[in-house]
Amino acid sequence: MKEYKALVFFDLDGTLLDTDSKISKENRQAMIDLKRNNILPLIASGRSPKEIREITAGTPIDSYISLNGQYNVVENEVVSKHAIPVQAIEELMAFSQTFVHSLACYTAEEYATSYTNESMKKLYQIDNAPLPKIAPDFYKEKEIYMLYLFSEEEDKDRLYRERFSEIFTFFRDSPYSMAVVLKKRSKQAGIKEVVKALGSVNVPTYAFGDGNNDIGMFEAVDSAIAMDNASGHVKSHADYITKSHLEDGIRFGLKHFGLLD
């Protein structure tokens, strides 16, 4: 694999993307400029590989941590993936049904659910993404890498974390949802695997993010950059606060660290 001067990891929603879930012309050019400077831009997101490929089409991005560290790709090659056991999925599914919290199951290419609820509809509308297809046996037929739990009852989050403390990690990433991955999996874990695969342990690393699931990513890099639209909690874990994702905050932050002219 090619040797790079630096690695820069970007969250998508609220960071690299605009309100239409698109990469702006300015951010697209920034990715091109990074690659020209022999700096590798990578995505680190809760979104699926298919979504990431669609979103980054027309950019030089070919490396990503997807599904919150569950499925990771370097220069279009899968370097690590972590499937969730069927029994664990069934246990969470049964528990979530007691609260009528729907659960979506993600493979690398598609996602499905047993039923929808209002929280699910709200989340996919915000993400400008289609609702999961209804397929109750989907998780039995495919390798599942991430689960998405749809609930606006944040007071119930603790119950999930306590009940499944030995199996899952839960990231509340919106008022409507929690991403669910295997215990000890995260963007942080995915970044470590990608850096190792690249042979870039001593290369400077940077990360841009805005959400709670980006905190682990911040801990995995040398320089953590929070968007101005991030919460105070997320900002408190950053080394630098750039402008918001709607005010060319990506290029502003890259220039601050001398990664772009």
Q: Which two tokens stand for residue 31?
A: 């990715």
What integer pLDDT is reported at residue 179 of this predicted model? 94
Could you write out the DSSP letters of every residue in 48-97?
-HHHHHHHTTTSS---EEEGGGTEEEETTEEEEE-PPPHHHHHHHHHHHH
Question: Is residue 31 located within the same domain as residue 69?
Answer: yes
What integer pLDDT is reported at residue 173 of this predicted model? 87
What integer pLDDT is reported at residue 104 of this predicted model? 97
In a domain, 135, yes or no: yes
Is 62 a known active-site residue? Answer: no
What integer pLDDT is reported at residue 71 of this predicted model? 97
> For the chain, which residues score pLDDT lower than 70?
1
Q: With a threshold of 0.85, does the pTM exceed it?
A: yes
Question: Is residue 77 located within the same domain as residue 92?
Answer: no
What integer pLDDT is reported at residue 72 of this predicted model? 97
Give the domain range for residue 170.
86-182
b (16+ CB within 10 A) / e for 44-70 = bbbbbbebbbebbeebebbbbbbbbbb
What integer pLDDT is reported at residue 1 of this predicted model? 67
What's the order of all strands across the beta sheet hosting 71-74? Answer: 77-81, 71-74, 64-66, 39-44, 6-10, 205-209, 223-226, 240-241
In a domain, 137, yes or no: yes
Beta bridge partners of 58: none
What integer pLDDT is reported at residue 213 of this predicted model? 85
Question: Is residue 37 located within the same domain as residue 149?
Answer: no
- Which residue in 11, 13, 173, 210 is the catalytic one? 11
